[in-house]
């Protein structure tokens, strides 16, 4: 899986106003995979999720509880 993340194009949310690098970056340009990493450690580990799992997570974080 790590070899698939080599071609990842990482981006931060446009809502992120954090200028110290403490953000989550997401790569959605990978077929069948969504990469997630810590922006302050771009050479560090990354997580990978299926697009369906990532969509479920995003929807859950937007839903008021």
6: DSSP letter: T
26: left (phi over 0), alpha (psi -120 to 50) or beta: beta
Task: Please tell me the distance from the alpha carbon of residue 9 to that of residue 63, in angstroms, as a whole number.
Answer: 27
For the chain, what are the domain ranges?
2-16+23-62
**Kind and range of the H or E run holding 41:** none
Contacts of 9 (CB under 8 A, 6+ apart): 27, 29
Q: What is the pLDDT of residue 39?
A: 87
pLDDT in tens, the chain (65 residues): 667 788 899 998 777 766 666 788 999 999 999 999 998 888 999 999 999 999 999 999 887 76
């Amino acid at each position: 899986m790590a070899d698939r993340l080599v071609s990842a194009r990482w981006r931060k949310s446009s809502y992120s106003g954090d200028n110290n690098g403490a953000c989550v970056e997401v790569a959605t340009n990978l077929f069948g995979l969504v990469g997630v990493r810590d922006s302050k450690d771009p050479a560090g580990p990354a997580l990978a999720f299926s697009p369906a799992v990532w969509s479920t997570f995003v929807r859950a974080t937007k839903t008021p509880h």
